[in-house]
Chain A
Amino acid sequence: MKIGLFIPCFIDAFFPEVGIATLELLERLGQEVVYPCNQTCCGQPMANAGFNAECAGTEALFVRNFSGFDYVVAPSGSCVHHVRDHFDAIDQTPEVVQLRARTVELVEFLHDILKVDAFPWARFPHRVGLHNSCGTLRRLRHASASELNEPRFSKPMDLLSKVEGIEFVMPARPDECCGFGGTFSVFEETVSSKMGYDKVSDHAGAGAEYIVSADSSCLMHQKGCAERIGVPLKFIHIAQILNGAAA
């Protein structure tokens, strides 16, 4: 199986360690991974602000970079959500339709496609609170949503449970949005920050040392909020824990 590795723009720029962990993890699991060097972004920043036509060039570039792989894997739920559920500024040729369907988020790839049942190299003896980003929770369906009357499940929890020594804490409002929301974070910075303060306080109150998530954008926002109000939490991407990060 040939995997195209999609490292979204802000992970490339701010969180290279997340990209590295993703690449190493996929390789440990025996995958053939290619990082197309001309990649930039999926178009989400413009699309979420309503500027769909402005995404056409970026989307066309994405197709040029990633066509032909068995799967495109990215360690970012919101970007994958954009590719799968929006991404319609360009003609929906069979090639585009197939690429969109085969673009998957890392947790989905590990849980649903590779069905990984062990991470023997991973040990994380810490109390962690899991943050499902809204895109992964309600669109990619990483986990059951508290608003729906449906059987409980959680793919990231299934994976993390296989890590030695890890302990979970449950915040009072586990599904509440952290307030990042892309351009929302600056367009409505007061509400966004307040949501972030409440989120990190909820996790800290539950006894978390770390917040773990499949979305670095939420973590970047929450980290900024925690530092501002002095909540002593650490933040880590799920790829890092599964790849055996020692903390």
Chain B
Amino acid sequence: MTRQGEPRSARPASEDRDAIFRDGRRLDHAEASSKPLHTPAEAQPRGARLRGNRPVDQAEAAGRFIAAPAHQKMHDERLWDLRQKRDREMHGIEEWEELRALASAVKEHALTHLDAYLEEFEANATRNGVHVHWARGAAEHNRLVHGILADHGARSLIKSKSMLTEECGFRHYMSSVGIEVIETDLGERIQQLDNEDPSHVVVPAVHKLRTDVAQVFAATIGTDPDNSDVHYLAEAQRQSNRPLILAADAGMTGCNFAIAETGTFVVCTNEGNADLSANVPKLHIASIGIEKIIPRLDDLAVFVRLLSRSALGSPITQYTSHFRGPREGGEMHIVLVDNGRSARLGMAEFWTSLKCIRCGACMNTCPVYRRSGGLSYGATYSGPIGLIIDPTFNARKYSNLPFASTLNGSCSNVCPVKINIHEQIYAWRRELVKQHEVPFAKKAAMKAAGELLSRPAAYRAAIAATRTALDHLPDFVVYNPLNAWGKGREVPQPPRQTFHAWYHASRGGKS
């Protein structure tokens, strides 16, 4: 039978050629995709320039990202698309706001009883036949994992994406001790091959155009640099990575939720790569931040309903894998990692940031993040959640980050565990001023402004002395010289008189 002559399915001409349609409905990949680039290739803007412990200049790096319009536009539109899909999912669940409140309360309870739940988790996991280890910091975590690998004579490790291991500088450490690490998440593998950090907690290569990926793969796995077809690139990566996965000596995963009452843990992915990492080699190591604990299996339902809807606007991740213990003939290790979390738990204004389930919804909605790119933050965590977590690791290095926000509050509204992110950003500004981590010139300007604004006569004299309000006002209202305002915007025209002067002239006797 020939299908020739049948009407071709109607497909909007403007749609991506590669899109898959079913019943007239476009099916998107769970993590979305970038559209083909019709303009000449634009070099990928790189992230913040790191200079030891000196404050990261996020604004400078963001400026370079905006100066690459094809990248900036794709990045903004792709993440905004995720936000819109999230909204659609939210509207499909009548009890959405109740779910958020419940998730927040469960986390609050777990964090305020963390010691007990961690011990319960350890006891149950041990009963399940898992070796449980504790690591105070990044270095201890890395040494511990190295020790486990050394005990098994392992030379190669396949792993799934884990922000905790990014915190720990894990890949870098492993390479220094001669162990090959192979990332199995496609986006994370792209970033590994490009020797670049993830720019987003869920979609780590979201700042890259497909042409950038073609360049990376051409240089590392030998693809055609001029072929940026997504199917071609994904297949080439698969062919290159599968043999490494099959030959690996050990596997590593992170963890989305660790359940105290069962001693089990759950990993959510869209590529099934955590399952490969956990199930192909006989040795499975899971690195788990201590804040991942939830009390009961029933609580998990609340979080699973929220996680992927918030992250990608899909009802659930393709894979939600539960791990209980080693399979026959295998070995399972769990490393429970603190790395600053206990200290954060003791910070009165910032401890609720530990509720974070790393969905990235705050990044997707953040208008600053979408226009800056995640690498502009120069830190493990970028976007709104990064602004409030990064300074807990290093207040000086990340002292600029809490100022990379308009305090618009959209992040707090999308947060599935109701972290008051924008209020914590505001609180961090106060905290950094207290810790003297802001430039002296800014402090001097603010002090002068505070004095002038508390003395009405001096204030009026200052305005009058400058002939127009314009000459004087922006200097103390916004501390910077006027040229920063005028660089990208026209300067407002000064009016003939201030309201104050008008009031005196027209209502003189009344006040």
Contact = CB atoms under 8 A, between A and B. Distances in A.
B161 interface: no
A148 B96 CA distance: 9
A58 B408 contact: no
Given A40-B454, A184-B403, A12 B59 contact: no
Given A179-B367, A187-B480, A224 B491 contact: yes
Contacts of A147: 87, 365, 410, 413-414
Given A37-B511, A49-B429, A16 B451 contact: no
Contact of B489 (A50, A57, A188, A193): A193
A63 B456 CA distance: 13
A189 B484 contact: yes
A121 interface: no
B372 interface: yes
Interface string B76-101: 10001000000100110110110000
A195 to B, nearest CB: 5
A50 B409 contact: no
A175 interface: yes
Interface in B476-511: 476-480, 484-485, 487-492, 494-495, 497-504, 507, 511
Given A139-B409, A188-B59, A51 B450 contact: yes
A126 to B, nearest CB: 22
B449 to A, nearest CB: 6
Interface stretch (A3-11, A111-119, A161-169, A236-244): A3-11
Nearest to A133: B408
A221 B489 contact: yes
Interface string A168-192: 0000010111011111111111111
Contacts of A221: 489
A51 B439 CA distance: 12
A225 B367 contact: no
Contacts of B91: 149
A190 B94 CA distance: 40
Contacts of B447: 51, 54
A61 B485 contact: no
Interface in B383-427: 402-410, 412-414, 426
B470 interface: yes
A45 to B, nearest CB: 5
B438 interface: yes
A189 B403 contact: no
Contact of B454 (A34, A57, A181, A185): A57
Contacts of A16: 495, 497-499, 501-502
A189 B483 CA distance: 10
A146 interface: yes
Contacts of A41: 453
Contacts of B408: 134, 138, 177, 181
A131 B493 CA distance: 22
A50 B453 contact: no
B97 A149 contact: yes
B472 to A, nearest CB: 8
A128 to B, nearest CB: 20
Contacts of A177: 367, 406, 408, 410
B357 interface: no
B297 interface: no
B410 A187 contact: no
Interface in A193-247: 193-196, 198, 220-221, 223-225, 227-228
B242 to A, nearest CB: 40
A43 interface: yes
A223 B406 contact: no
A129 interface: no
A92 interface: no
B506 to A, nearest CB: 9
A36 B510 CA distance: 11
A145 B504 CA distance: 40
B489 A52 contact: no
A181 B406 contact: yes
A98 interface: no
A54 B447 CA distance: 6
Contacts of B432: 50
B153 to A, nearest CB: 50
B469 interface: yes
Contacts of B489: 193, 196, 221, 224-225, 227-228
Q: Which of B413, B438, B454 has the most CB of A within 10 A?
A: B454
A45 B442 CA distance: 12
B66 A186 contact: no
Contact of B490 (A37, A52, A184, A223): A223
Interface of A: 7, 9-20, 23, 34-41, 43, 45-46, 48-52, 54-58, 60-61, 86, 134, 137-139, 145-150, 173, 175-177, 179-196, 198, 220-221, 223-225, 227-228
30 contacts: A7-B499, A9-B477, A16-B497, A16-B501, A37-B500, A43-B450, A45-B479, A50-B430, A52-B430, A52-B433, A57-B451, A134-B406, A137-B409, A138-B408, A138-B409, A145-B410, A147-B365, A148-B97, A148-B413, A149-B96, A175-B410, A182-B407, A186-B479, A186-B485, A188-B62, A189-B59, A189-B484, A191-B66, A195-B406, A225-B488
Interface of B: 58-59, 62-63, 66, 72, 76, 80, 87, 90-91, 93-94, 96-97, 365, 367-368, 371-372, 402-410, 412-414, 426, 428-433, 438, 442-443, 446-447, 449-451, 453-456, 459, 463, 469-470, 473, 476-480, 484-485, 487-492, 494-495, 497-504, 507, 511
**Ranked 9 nearest A-B pairs via Cβ:** A57-B454, A193-B488, A181-B406, A224-B489, A50-B429, A13-B469, A54-B450, A147-B413, A19-B499
